[in-house]
Amino acid sequence: MEPRSTPSLPARTRRRRGGPATRRRRSVAAAAALALPLTVLLPVTTTAQADVAQDDIRPQEPGVTLRVFDVRIPLDEYCTLKPGTTPNVDKIMPTINWTSDDDFGLTDQFVTEVTGYLNVETAGTYDFRITSDDGSRLLLDGTEVVDNPGAHGVLSEEGSVDLGAGYHELLVDHFDNAFGQRLLLEWRPPGTENFVLVPNSVLSTDADVTRVTSPGRKSCENISETPGDGLPLAEVHPDYTLTDLRPEGFEPQVTGMDWLPDGRMVISTWGGDRLTELGEVYLIDGASGDGTAEDVTYTKVAENLTEPMGVKYVDGTIYVSEKDGLTALIDNDGDEVADEYDTFATWPFGGNYHEFAFGLLYEDGYFYVTTGIAMIPGGNSLDRSSPRTAGRS
Ligand SMILES: [Ca+2]
Ligand SMILES: [Ca+2]
Ligand SMILES: [Ca+2]
């Protein structure tokens, strides 16, 4: 199974396709074609509907985020990557103007996703030109502004959009099938004559993100594949049955699992954001054997835990590994809800978001965890001399 992003990086919803403006543009073009069959259609200006409120934007740094995915299949259309796909390349770039293998990080049969914001000072009609080898498209605030589809050599397409002053969510999709590759985004702001490269000064992307990558081939949703060829888990071998055990309304972000002697399961959950104390522990009944989601019931045992990443049942007591130590959940009155949270052991913890204690195991009187290293957002280890970064468990 393909490694996922670290839990500290909740997946963002990126793909908002085909907003109202796109639909409007198409219907206007169709009507014009019916009424004036011999007339060349004039370009129609789209309108980006949803300007991004300043308050909704995380801290920014100049540039755009470039993610590249190694799909290794012939491409003549946009690839919809399978959910949770980790890129092969993830880096910040000053502008969108790339040609070489080094720029993209891959050579052929790859998919490119560019994200960030376009911040314009003045409202008005902006023209955009996207030049690519092979296909590409530009979306602002989820609305398609320029489409340059299909497999082809270097080719430009233009489009226009009315923009309000402020931030606009930017997305460029691109793919390279074979031979050369190119991606260039230019614009012509209101009152100017010529297309120029969209400058670094108006581009920004989320600052202080951990850029998680993984090697290997990535998969598109719209390509048929068979299980068992090294692809991320999407289906299982036909000899097995994949069963979803999450009942309606219960979709925990599970970080650890263990069995109780009576056949019930105990799970720990993450909490959903960095450095929170929102982790919980549940007892799950009905999750074994031929059980389905309808058979599953759950009860909360504990809450307010610091990003627990492991859970273990030993001699009648549930233990969880939090960021900073091992906690025993003590039930005094037999109702299976913890009444005391006893710190059973501690280990080095520097308060860094990336420090976790994974994979709680127990054998012959000893507990075992593996600790995640402290990281500076962006990807480097914080301190190579600390016990955590030296790889000790
Ligand atoms: Ca190429
Ligand atoms: Ca090409
Ligand atoms: Ca109790």
Residue 370 has pLDDT above 90, yes or no: yes
Query: What ligand is nearest to the CA atom of residue 105?
Result: 1
Write phi, then psi, for 160 (nearest 5 degrees). Answer: -130, 155
- Looking at residue 183, its pLDDT comes to 98
Query: What ligand is nearest to the CA atom of residue 153?
Result: 2
Count Cβ atoms below 10 Å from residue 35 Cβ, excluding itself. 8
- Looking at residue 28, its pLDDT comes to 36
> How much distance in Å is there from the Cα of 42 to the middle of ligand 2?
29
Domain end, chosen from 171, 186, 206, is at: 206
Does 182 lie in the same domain as 91?
A: yes
Residue 389 or 68, more confident? 68
Domain end, chosen from 206, 230, 265, is at: 206
Measured CA to CA, the distance from residue 280 to residue 329 in angstroms comes to 11
Number of domains in the chain: 2
Residues 6+ apart with CB under 8 A from 303: 278, 279, 280, 281
Query: What ligand is nearest to the CA atom of residue 110?
Result: 1
Note whether residue 260 is domain-resident.
Answer: yes
- Looking at residue 51, its pLDDT comes to 63
> How much distance in Å is there from the Cα of 181 to the middle of ligand 2?
5
- Looking at residue 72, its pLDDT comes to 87
- Looking at residue 6, its pLDDT comes to 37
> How much distance in Å is there from the Cα of 88 to the middle of ligand 2?
19
> How much distance in Å is there from the Cα of 303 to the middle of ligand 3?
13
Note whether residue 4 is domain-resident.
Answer: no
- Looking at residue 57, its pLDDT comes to 86
Does 186 lie in the same domain as 92?
A: yes
> How much distance in Å is there from the Cα of 110 to the middle of ligand 2?
10
Q: What is the pTM of this model?
A: 0.53
> How much distance in Å is there from the Cα of 288 to the middle of ligand 3?
25
Measured CA to CA, the distance from residue 9 to residue 102 in angstroms comes to 26
Does 260 lie in the same domain as 192?
A: no
Note whether residue 201 is domain-resident.
Answer: yes
Question: Would you list the DSSP string of 236-257?
Answer: --TTS-------TT----EEEE
> How much distance in Å is there from the Cα of 35 to the middle of ligand 1?
43
Residue 147, domain CATH: 2.60.120.1560
> How much distance in Å is there from the Cα of 101 to the middle of ligand 2?
11
Measured CA to CA, the distance from residue 179 to residue 342 in angstroms comes to 62
Residue 36 has pLDDT above 80, yes or no: no
Query: What ligand is nearest to the CA atom of residue 106?
Result: 1
> How much distance in Å is there from the Cα of 365 to the middle of ligand 1?
56
Task: Name the least confident of 40-44, 231-235, 360-364.
Answer: 40-44
Q: What is the mean pLDDT of the chain?
A: 84
Does 315 lie in the same domain as 187?
A: no
Residue 25 has pLDDT above 50, yes or no: no
Note whether residue 236 is domain-resident.
Answer: no
Residue 362 or 83, more confident? 362
Residue 391 has pLDDT above 50, yes or no: no
The predicted-structure confidence for 295-347, as pLDDT tens digits, reads as follows 999 999 999 999 999 999 999 999 999 999 999 999 999 999 999 999 999 99
Is residue 351 within 8 Å of 339, Cβ to Cβ? no
Is residue 14 within 8 Å of 117, Cβ to Cβ? no
Note whether residue 160 is domain-resident.
Answer: yes
Query: What ligand is nearest to the CA atom of residue 176?
Result: 2
Residues 6+ apart with CB under 8 A from 322: 279, 305, 306, 307, 308, 357
- Looking at residue 216, its pLDDT comes to 85
Residue 50 has pLDDT above 70, yes or no: no
Query: What ligand is nearest to the CA atom of residue 107?
Result: 1
Expressed as residue numbers, the domain containing 108 is: 20-32+42-206
Note whether residue 215 is domain-resident.
Answer: no
Question: Which amino acid, residue 340?
Answer: E
The predicted-structure confidence for 145-155, as pLDDT tens digits, reads as follows 999 999 999 99
Residue 12 has pLDDT above 60, yes or no: no
> How much distance in Å is there from the Cα of 122 to the middle of ligand 3?
61
Does 200 lie in the same domain as 258?
A: no
Does 130 lie in the same domain as 188?
A: yes
Residue 198 has pLDDT above 90, yes or no: yes
Query: What ligand is nearest to the CA atom of residue 154?
Result: 2
> How much distance in Å is there from the Cα of 100 to the middle of ligand 3?
63
> How much distance in Å is there from the Cα of 315 to the middle of ligand 2?
62
> How much distance in Å is there from the Cα of 256 to the middle of ligand 3?
22
- Looking at residue 375, its pLDDT comes to 83
Question: Would you list the DSSP string of 99-132?
Answer: -SHHHHS--SSEEEEEEEEEEESS-EEEEEEEEE
Note whether residue 98 is domain-resident.
Answer: yes
Strands 166-176 and 136-140: antiparallel
Question: Would you list the DSSP string of 303-368?
Answer: EEESS-BEEEEETTEEEEE-SSEEEEEE-SSSSSS-SEEEEEEE----S-TT--EEEEEEETTEEE
Measured CA to CA, the distance from residue 136 to residue 171 in angstroms comes to 10
List Cα–Cα distances, 179 to 74, 109, 152, 256, 268, in angstroms.
Answer: 12, 9, 10, 46, 49
Max mean pLDDT among 125-139, 206-220, 239-253 falls in 125-139
Query: What ligand is nearest to the CA atom of residue 68?
Result: 1
Q: Could you identify the residue written with the tokens 């403006």?
A: 21
Is residue 29 within 8 Å of 41, Cβ to Cβ? yes
Strands 46-47 and 155-163: parallel
Task: Name the least confident of 26-40, 76-90, 164-178.
Answer: 26-40
Does 70 lie in the same domain as 167?
A: yes
Note whether residue 164 is domain-resident.
Answer: yes
Query: What ligand is nearest to the CA atom of residue 99?
Result: 1
What is the band of 133 on the pLDDT scale with cuts at 50, 70, 90?
Answer: very high
Q: Could you identify the residue written with the tokens 């301190």?
A: 383
Does 260 lie in the same domain as 188?
A: no
What is the band of 56 on the pLDDT scale with cuts at 50, 70, 90?
Answer: confident
Does 157 lie in the same domain as 69?
A: yes
Q: What is the mean pLDDT of residues 239-246?
A: 85
Does 175 lie in the same domain as 95?
A: yes
